[in-house]
């Protein structure tokens, strides 16, 4: 089990971003827990707390030639439980390509921060086209970070609108 501690922000003007380099294209598909569990190769006992939370999200992410199954509890501000395991790519490509489950498509860029951390900048595509969100994972909830000038409104803890799961279920350019 891991604990993810991250803050999330809107990027309102992409022209102020530093050079981004090469991005990684991703598609994230969100499944009901009972369908997602068919892909989970790990122990069930460790998932009990996430499975007990009705607001948890279950995704399968494909980026490049890699597929990952992830379960995340609802966030408590910047903190949430997170379980991830690599899974066989072939097992998920077919289900993702059916488009039967809500999904988000994006290109992710990773740039270093001034705090020895990394910003992940997501440029959403498809029904969320035009949306740019920046996230930074931190070692502790009270870890002090320096916000670059391209950071906009903070979205941390607003999972009901700004999580990738919410964006998959209710896509569109006019959020929040």
Question: Which domains does the chain carry?
Answer: 2-169 (2.40.320.10)
The string of DSSP codes covering 44-72 is: SGGGHHHHH-TT-EEEEEEETTEEEEEEE
Q: 41-57 pLDDT, tens per residue?
A: 878 887 888 988 898 99
* Beta-strand relationship, 118-124 and 24-30: unpaired
H or E element at residue 159: helix 159-162
pTM of the predicted model as reported, rounded to 2 decimal places: 0.90
Selecting among 30, 58, 101, 109, the annotated active-site residue is 30
Q: Is 143 a catalytic residue?
A: no
Q: 145-157 pLDDT, tens per residue?
A: 999 999 999 999 8
Question: DSSP letter at 76?
Answer: B
- pLDDT of 175 reads 56
Query: Whole-angstrom Cα distance, residue 164 to residue 170?
Result: 10
- Going by pLDDT thresholds of 50, 70 and 90, the confidence category of residue 160 is confident
Q: 69-86 pLDDT, tens per residue?
A: 999 998 878 888 999 999
H or E element at residue 4: strand 2-10
């Amino acid at each position: 089990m891991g604990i993810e501690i991250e803050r999330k922000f809107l990027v309102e003007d992409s022209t102020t971003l530093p050079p981004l380099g090469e991005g990684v294209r991703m598609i994230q598909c969100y499944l009901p827990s009972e369908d997602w569990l068919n892909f989970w190769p790990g122990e069930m006992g460790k998932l009990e707390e996430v499975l007990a939370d009705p607001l948890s999200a279950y995704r399968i992410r494909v980026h490049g030639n890699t597929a990952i199954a992830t379960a995340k509890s609802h966030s408590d501000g910047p903190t949430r439980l997170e379980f991830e395991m690599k899974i066989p790519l072939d097992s998920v490509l077919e289900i993702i390509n059916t488009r039967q489950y809500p999904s988000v498509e994006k290109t992710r860029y990773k740039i270093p921060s001034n705090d020895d951390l990394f910003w992940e900048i997501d440029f959403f595509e498809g029904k969320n086209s035009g949306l740019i969100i920046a996230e930074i994972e931190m070692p502790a909830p009270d870890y002090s970070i320096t916000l670059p000038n391209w950071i906009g409104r903070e979205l941390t803890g607003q999972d009901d609108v700004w999580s990738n799961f919410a964006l998959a279920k209710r896509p569109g350019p006019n959020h929040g």
